[in-house]
Amino acid sequence: MLEVQTRILSSLFGKGTGGSILDVGGGHGQTAIPLMEAGWQVTVAASAPECVARLQPHVLRNRMGFKVCDLLHMPFPDRSFDGVVNIRFLPHCTRWRDFVAELCRVAKGRVVVDYPTRRSLNVFSSALFGLKRRVEGNTRPYALFRHDEVPAEFRKHGLRMMTSVPEFFLPMVCHRMMNRRAVSAALEGAFRAIGLTGLLGSPVMACFERQA
């Protein structure tokens, strides 16, 4: 999952040339560290001080910024970052429209988010939630979005979707149940090759750009 996520994210942001990126809710380090290693000046905005744990070595060496704040009211000026990224958060945010507005406010140009869509096998997520909880342990329910629901919200704030990349065809709980990396990679490679991932893949990682 992380390899696919990092590969797509790298294709959307490319190599850093001194530009700044705000990783919102990125205390897990899954996006902040690869972006930092690609040459971007990364700041992580998190909701609690303990979120710095995985990032501490980089923060202490001033390779990365870290700020604890209310993610719906971040203490940054308008359009203060060249890019903004938020991964694995939107479907768990009850005030997701307010959250999108805040991401757009602090972004000078590009915002990248990911979210699950109804046009996927995730439409069965409610029925499979009990199984998902037994497999993953600490899982929680998440929202599914209609095809144009998230892009429409970004358009309200002057950003249009430039590209959208489906990540997987099978729900992640299926891969965790199999627990076989090679099998998962082969299956997803086949689904992508025959076009099922492009048609019904989820979550999607979407890149939005501010319009002139």
For residue range 56-83, list pLDDT tens digits in order: 999 999 999 999 999 999 999 999 999 9
Does the pLDDT of residue 127 top 70, yes or no?
no
Range of the domain at 37: 2-210
Average pLDDT over residues 114-127: 75
pTM of the model: 0.87
Does the pLDDT of residue 212 top 80, yes or no?
no
For residue range 104-118, list pLDDT tens digits in order: 999 999 999 999 998
Average pLDDT across the chain, whole number? 90
Tokens of 55: 């990032």
Q: CATH number of the domain that 64 lies in?
A: 3.40.50.150
Neighbouring-strand partners of residue 151:
none
Q: In Å, how far from its chain's centre is CA 48?
A: 19
Taking the C-alpha atoms of residue 115 and residue 109, their distance in angstroms, rounded to an integer, is: 20
Instruction: Sheet with 81-86: list strands edge to edge.
Output: 65-68, 41-46, 20-24, 81-86, 107-115, 204-210, 159-166
When divided into structural domains, the chain yields a total of 1
Please check whether residue 55 is in contact with residue 27, taking contact to mean a CB–CB distance below 8 angstroms: yes
